[in-house]
Amino acid sequence: MEKNEYYMKRALELAAGGWGRTNPNPLVGALIVKNGEIIAEGCHEKLGGAHAEVAALKNARQDVKGGTLYVNLEPCSHYGRTPPCAEAVIKAGISKVVIAMEDPNPKVCGKGVEMLKNAGIETVTGVLEGEARRLNEIFIKYVTRKQPFVILKAAMTLDGKIATAGGDSKWISGEGSRQQVHLLRDRVSAIMVGVDTVLADDPALTARPGGETGNDPVRIIVDSKGKIPIDSRVINNEAAAGTILATTSAIEAGKEKLLLEKGVRLLKLDGPDGHVDLEGLLEQLYGLELDSVLLEGGGGLNAAALAAGIVDKAMIFIAPKIIGGRDAKTPVEGDGIGLMRDALRLGELSIVRFEEDILIEGYIRYK
């Protein structure tokens, strides 16, 4: 492996240490190399905390002057929640900076590199850029399209069912798969389900990675008519994250009042045929600084989300079980697509095994 790639791989590993704690900021890791030795490492650990470059400078075991900084994202050049990192790098006397990718944020893109070059610092960009873009795919969409990144997650049997004909769904997938889902919940800003899921399962929608209390995502319930019971767990549990009800003007005034008294945030988004406007919902979530949504809806909401074109990635867990039943629910329902040539496809596929289950992951291709 080429030297720059070797060190950049370590920067990407460090960046992943901020999963679920930096939203809506990017995941960034940095290290400083001098005389062939790593003398400092750091990552952006939490929103509002020190950026990776500054953390590495503070953690240095010796003088960094003349050293090479490796970072997976272009150092920022503007004042945000923290001062510019490029400025700190210049003051520290770093002689070379190796960067995986330019910052897609229009406030920064190219400006950090320009600042470093103007200060006489050698810069190299594009090292492991593909890996860096994949790591920060949530941030990239959030700052360029001003929408949260949406991941559709489903667990189904080998014959494509998400529950028996009688509605039993505990448990389709195994423990390993379920723990992976809790890890996902711990990383995203929000989790979204339809009201039918609440009525059927009364889920808490919390994150418990490794069986421990995690970073609970904001719970979003899509409920066009306000059918959600007031005693639902998503309304009454003590999770730190709040609950948003995405509804329409069809909700009764009395029910709206009760929900508001419970601390639920209501977003009224009238869409076609009395349904919630899902594209409008994404715009509202962006305004609330929610950069990512894990969609764990039933077949109806999943179908609506795909039809609206809001899903970026699909993660489908397949368990080696067969239950049958013409009335058993499937992951994507609705009217469906008429011709096979028009079927939505997944690109950039990856397949991972969790005990007996298989996870197929890929990006939705709408065209």
Residue 208 is assigned to a ligand binding site: yes
169 is in an annotated binding site: yes
Domain 3-140, CATH? 3.40.140.10
25-83 pLDDT, tens per residue? 999 999 999 999 999 999 999 988 889 999 999 999 999 999 999 999 999 876 666 66
What's the rounded Cα separation, in Å, for the pair 364 and 44? 30
298 is in an annotated binding site: yes
DSSP code per residue over 87-137:
HHHHHHT--EEEEEE---STTTTTHHHHHHHHTT-EEEE-TTHHHHHHHTH
Task: Indicate yes or no: pTM above 0.85.
Answer: yes
In the chain, where the domains are located:
3-140, 147-365
Give the mean pLDDT of the chain: 92
Residue whose pair of structure tokens reads 């997976």 in the numeric block: 72
Query: Is 40 part of any known ligand binding site?
Result: no
Class of domain 147-365: alpha beta
Q: What is the CA radius of gyration of the chain?
A: 23
- Banded model confidence at residue 201, pLDDT cuts 50, 70, 90: confident
**Tens of pLDDT, residues 246-271:** 999 999 999 999 999 999 999 999 99
Residue 43 among known ligand-binding residues: no
Active site residue 212: no
Mean pLDDT, range 163-179, rounded to an integer: 90
> How confident is the model at residue 81, as a pLDDT?
60
Which of the residues 2, 41, 45, 53 is marked catalytic?
53
Do 147-365 and 3-140 fall under one CATH topology?
A: no
Is the pLDDT at 126 greater than 80, yes or no? yes
